[in-house]
Amino acid sequence: MTLTKKMQTGLPRRTVLAGMAAAGATAMMPQRIRAQEQVTIRWWSPQSSPEQMAAYETQIRNFEALHENVKVVFEKTSDEGYAPQLAAAFASGDVPNVVTHLPSFAVSNYWRNGLLEPFNDVIEMIGPDKFYDGVNRIYEIDEGQYAGTSIGNSAANVIWLRKDLMEQAGIDKNPRTWDELLSAVGKMQGNGIYGAPLPYGRNSMTSLIFIGVIHQAGGQVFTPDLQVAIDSQETRDALEFYRAMREFCPPGATNYSWGDSLTAFVSGACATGIYTGRVLINVNNQNPGIADSVTCDLYPTKSADIEPWTFNDFPSVFIPKAAPNMDVTKQFAAFLFDPEGYIQQLHAAPGHVLPVLRTIGSDPAYQNNEIIQKYSDEVEKMSSAAANGFNLGWESTAHQPNTRAGEVVNSGVIAELVQRVVLNDENVDQVLGETTARIEEIMAG
């Protein structure tokens, strides 16, 4: 029986990790494994806040304690710089063993180029029946073969709102449409507070957020069979909305990326925000005065008859094919989901990365967190949205997987579209035509 079939039927998994056995619904209890010689496992991730690093240290310490002569070394990458870093590693052959927290479309691109080890064995080690339904579908690029899996889910473009500022402005409900949002930020802006921290820089955040805005207008970047469809009335409407929002954003938004946008809301400089659930822990730690006034919702759409579109980058875990010590590497990748370390990693920024294992989501140890309990409604809303989320690598359930989505994002062409039309006031027809041609070139290879 194939792994795909097992995941669909929920049949019991076969154990393939030597020394690992299920102990209850949520635990994997590996035995001590003695290596014949010193082995070093290198772990790359762009996520490395102090709290996350503490969780990683727990995971590394626990794994090393169970594997004599195995040393795990964590190496930080960058959200904006991982592509050239990995390109250099793949070109030289000096690759890490395990990479985590990159978006799924990056994984698809590396898989298409034959650079990744199939992840089927690791999913079997974890237990396919433990995953939430559909979690692994985005990684099944070739039938029956998985390029990786998700280390978590994220709802990266929910709108964050200040209930206190809404009340002061006489706004009695969360904005559902763009017109309602424009009205709301206009009423809340003033006295040193801006309406929104949308990004307008030439970077991945602008590209990824604006892809969501195109969908919120009812459009798409590609048709389901992956023909370029960005030159549309819906994209023109999205650009006009983005232009209208510019006057409610700080002057520095022309260079905003993820950290800048997050800080602008958390610091209180903006009345709304757009980010994952990391907002919750940052607000409570850095600006507790507004902590009781913060909530989130799905980002508004052009009209109420257009369904919200949540950007989930599906933070991933994958293994380069050229990684040395493959057996131990796969064991470590599976161990990242061991409850003690995995829950600590999720609690490092509660609500930011959401669990992909149902056994973890229902675990009392995961639920026993002040932030998750305090913002239970917000966490549930993000969890539901993320579970039904998409990204450029998979724009809808009707779309084929787009293995070149990462190349499109990393090219900056969509961010340039925003800058040229919204900031530079270039002719929209000409820019959309040129943007279409450039994306077509990328798709053609």
Show pLDDT as tens, one digit a residue, over the chain (445 residues): 344 434 433 333 333 333 333 333 334 444 444 546 799 999 999 988 899 999 999 999 999 999 989 999 999 988 777 889 999 999 999 999 999 999 898 899 899 999 999 999 999 999 999 998 878 888 998 999 999 999 999 999 999 999 999 999 999 999 999 999 999 999 999 999 999 999 999 999 999 999 999 999 999 999 999 999 999 999 999 999 999 999 999 999 999 999 999 999 999 999 999 999 999 999 999 999 999 999 999 999 999 999 999 999 889 999 999 999 999 999 999 999 999 999 999 999 999 999 999 999 989 999 999 999 999 999 999 998 998 899 999 999 899 889 999 999 999 999 999 999 999 999 999 999 999 999 999 999 8
Is the residue at 138 inside a domain? yes
Number of structural domains the chain divides into: 2
Place of tokens 């102090």: 50
Asked, for residue 42, whether it belongs to a domain, the answer is: yes
- The answer to whether residue 396 sits within a structural domain is no
Could you tell me how far CA 266 lies from the centroid of its own chain? Answer: 19
Question: Within this chain, do residues 163 and 141 fall inside the same structural domain, yes or no?
Answer: no
Same domain, residue pair 255 and 162: yes
Q: Is the domain of 126 the same as that of 263?
A: no
DSSP secondary structure, 127-165, as one string: -GGGBPTTTTGGG-SBTTB-S-EES-B--TTEEEEEHHH
Distance separating alpha carbons of residues 149 and 142, to the nearest angstrom:
14
Kindly state whether residues 300 and 440 are assigned to the same domain: yes
Is 85 a domain residue?
yes
Residue 361 and residue 287 in one domain: no
What is the layout of strands, in order, in the sheet containing 272-275? 272-275, 158-162, 294-297
Which residues neighbour 185 within 8 Å (Cβ) at sequence distance 6 or greater?
A: 195, 196, 245, 248, 271, 272
Claim to verify: residue 167 and residue 262 sit in the same structural domain: yes
**Residue 67 shares a structural domain with residue 214:** no
Residue 134 lies in a domain: yes
| 8 Å CB contact between 70 and 39 | yes
In a domain, 399, yes or no: no
CATH number at residue 195: 3.40.190.10
Domain-located, residue 392? no
Are 201 and 116 part of one and the same domain? Answer: no
* Chain centre to alpha carbon of residue 319: 18
Q: What is the pLDDT of residues 245-292, one digit of tens each?
A: 999 999 999 999 999 999 999 999 999 999 999 999 999 999 999 999
State pLDDT tens for residues 298-342.
Answer: 999 999 999 999 999 889 999 999 999 999 999 999 999 999 999
Same domain, 197 and 69: no
> Residue 31 sits in which domain range?
3-154+312-387
Instruction: Tell me, yes or no, whether 400 lies in a domain.
Output: no
Q: Identify whether residues 55 and 123 lie together within a single domain.
A: yes
My answer on whether 108 and 187 are in the same domain is no
